[in-house]
Amino acid sequence: MPSHTDLTKPTVLVIDDEAGPRDALKVILRPFFNVQSAESACAALDILSRHPVDLITLDQKLPDRHGMDLLQEIRQAHADTEVIIVTGYGSLKSAMDGIRYGAAGYLLKPFNVTELITLINQTLGKKRRLDFIRKFFESSPDLWGTEQESAHAWQALQSGYAAAGADKQGPAPVLGTDLGLLPLLSDILEATDRNLLNHSSRVSFYATLIGNRLNLGSEEQKSLTMGAFLHDIGKSGIGPHHFPEGQRKASSDSTDIRKDHPDKGAQLVRHAGLSAEISQIILCHHERWDGHGYPHGLQGEGIPLLARIVALAQTFDHLTADPMASSPLSIDAALDRISSQAHTYFDPRLTNLFIQVINECKHSLPPMAVAATIAESRKS
Ligand SMILES: [Fe+2]
């Protein structure tokens, strides 16, 4: 730790190969933060190995490595350090790459100073909350204990989270309501893996599109949106250190954990006080139409309708936008794959509706869903 470090201030590392922008950032940030700087990936990694750093502003163009490669390395080795991409070489692709590899934010040069400071402060506020959640999950096995232990641990999680600064980000959560719990639940997903939060948001979007076409009642529609968003929250018990960003994959040693997550997630939201319908979606989202799914091997219409919708939505997202897939599929290819799995994995009637709805909404799907489609059309 450098001798002039003010322990009351967060530490920001500015990584930029050009002296001008690097010095400008140092001058702007110094009144608020301890500031260090590096002109190359190698110098940055050296600083990170010697001093704790809360946040990095990262230029994409470096002399010894591409910024995106460095971002991946930092997120794997220093998962608690947040990264904001600052670049003059912005494009939709680089923004998506940054998000895919775990950047907390993205700022184009020339940047507005107020925007920069606001983004850094927001990111540091989020880091405080995520750090609290990560520590809590690592040290509180009671969350998965008996009914009484879990309920007690959940209360401790809520009050610790409020103290970690959640209340400064907006109106106080209305405890006891689904919407009031959303910031905490969303942060639990993000603390586990930022990609898990992005995946959850997209799955909720697709499931809601289908729910609208089925004319579900408003309570059922709300449960579907929430249940889809929280379908993988049981992976939170696994902890971020097991699946650092960039390394998440379904290996054989992760199979038991994988098969556990519907049960764990259903248990967690039950203790959070969410509806039985939401808990049921989470529990059943890996059941298969032919009865070969898990955890209970339910079959056909024995699987709750809302869980059958989420099964389709999450598969479509894995096929089109899984950050770990070497080549995500185009929308058409993903829909073909899903169509071929009607009657085995999926409810055939819902599969037809899903394909119809996605085809109709092709032009308003999230950027990550259409990235492979755009890349494919450019090749042809
Ligand atoms: Fe899942």
- Give the model confidence (pLDDT) of 347-378 as tens digits: 999 999 999 999 999 888 877 666 666 566 65
Whether 93 and 192 map to the same domain: the answer is no
Distance, in Å, from the CA atom of 64 to the CA atom of 87, rounded to the nearest integer, reads 16
Ligand 1 center to 228 CA (angstroms)? 10
pLDDT confidence of residue 99 = 79
Q: What is the mean pLDDT of the chain?
A: 85
Let me know if residue 59 belongs to a domain: yes
Ligand 1 center to 272 CA (angstroms)? 19
Whether 204 and 97 map to the same domain: the answer is no
**How many independent structural domains does the chain possess?**
2
Ligand 1 center to 260 CA (angstroms)? 9
Ligand 1 center to 105 CA (angstroms)? 26
pLDDT confidence of residue 245 = 41
Report, as an integer, the average pLDDT of 62-85.
91
pLDDT digits 0-9 by tens, 107-134: 887 778 898 999 999 999 999 999 999 9
Let me know if residue 173 belongs to a domain: no
Ligand 1 center to 230 CA (angstroms)? 9
Whether 359 and 221 map to the same domain: the answer is yes
Q: Smallest Cα–Cα separation from 370: which of 325, 343, 332, 324?
A: 332
Ligand 1 center to 128 CA (angstroms)? 27
pLDDT digits 0-9 by tens, 198-244: 999 999 999 999 999 998 999 999 999 999 999 999 998 664 444 44
pLDDT confidence of residue 274 = 92
Ligand 1 center to 58 CA (angstroms)? 33
pLDDT confidence of residue 109 = 78
- Amino acid, single-letter form, for residue 288: R
Query: pTM for the complete prediction?
Result: 0.85
Let me know if residue 94 belongs to a domain: yes
Quick check: 302 pLDDT over 90? Answer: yes
Burial class (CB in 10 A: 0-12, 13-18, 19+), 323: buried
Report, as an integer, the average pLDDT of 249-268.
71
Ligand 1 center to 5 CA (angstroms)? 44
CATH number, domain with residue 63: 3.40.50.2300
81-97 exposure pattern, b = at least 16 Cβ within 10 A, e = fewer? bbbbbbbeebeeebbbb
Ligand 1 center to 285 CA (angstroms)? 7
pLDDT confidence of residue 203 = 96
Let me know if residue 357 belongs to a domain: yes
Joined tokens for residue 377: 């059309």
Whether 197 and 302 map to the same domain: the answer is yes
pLDDT digits 0-9 by tens, 145-178: 788 888 888 889 999 998 887 545 444 444 445 6
Whether 229 and 374 map to the same domain: the answer is yes
Let me know if residue 129 belongs to a domain: no
pLDDT confidence of residue 133 = 93
Whether 182 and 84 map to the same domain: the answer is no
pLDDT digits 0-9 by tens, 273-297: 899 999 999 999 999 999 999 999 9
Ligand 1 center to 248 CA (angstroms)? 13
Residues β-bridged to residue 37? 14
pLDDT digits 0-9 by tens, 134-147: 999 888 877 877 88
Q: Alpha helix (H) ranges present in 214-273? A: 218-229, 255-271
Let me know if residue 6 belongs to a domain: no
Report, as an integer, the average pLDDT of 320-332.
80
Ligand 1 center to 83 CA (angstroms)? 27
Q: How far is CA 21 from CA 30, 31, 88, 109, in A?
A: 14, 17, 11, 9
Q: Smallest Cα–Cα separation from 97: which of 332, 282, 321?
A: 321
Whether 229 and 340 map to the same domain: the answer is yes
Whether 68 and 183 map to the same domain: the answer is no
* Full domain range(s) for residue 75: 11-111
Q: How far is CA 261 from CA 144, 149, 208, 223, in A?
A: 11, 19, 22, 19
Let me know if residue 3 belongs to a domain: no
pLDDT confidence of residue 230 = 96
Last-in-domain residue among 64, 81, 111:
111
CATH number, domain with residue 236: 1.10.3210.10
pLDDT confidence of residue 255 = 60
Let me know if residue 169 belongs to a domain: no
Q: Which residues surround ligand 1, an ion (CB under 5 A)?
A: 232
pLDDT digits 0-9 by tens, 86-109: 877 656 677 777 878 889 988 887
| 366 prior amide bond cis, ω within 30 | no
Quick check: 322 pLDDT over 80? Answer: no
Ligand 1 center to 122 CA (angstroms)? 29
Ligand 1 center to 75 CA (angstroms)? 23
Ligand 1 center to 175 CA (angstroms)? 27
pLDDT confidence of residue 370 = 65
Ligand 1 center to 218 CA (angstroms)? 25
Last-in-domain residue among 89, 111, 133:
111
Whether 215 and 306 map to the same domain: the answer is yes
Ligand 1 center to 56 CA (angstroms)? 32
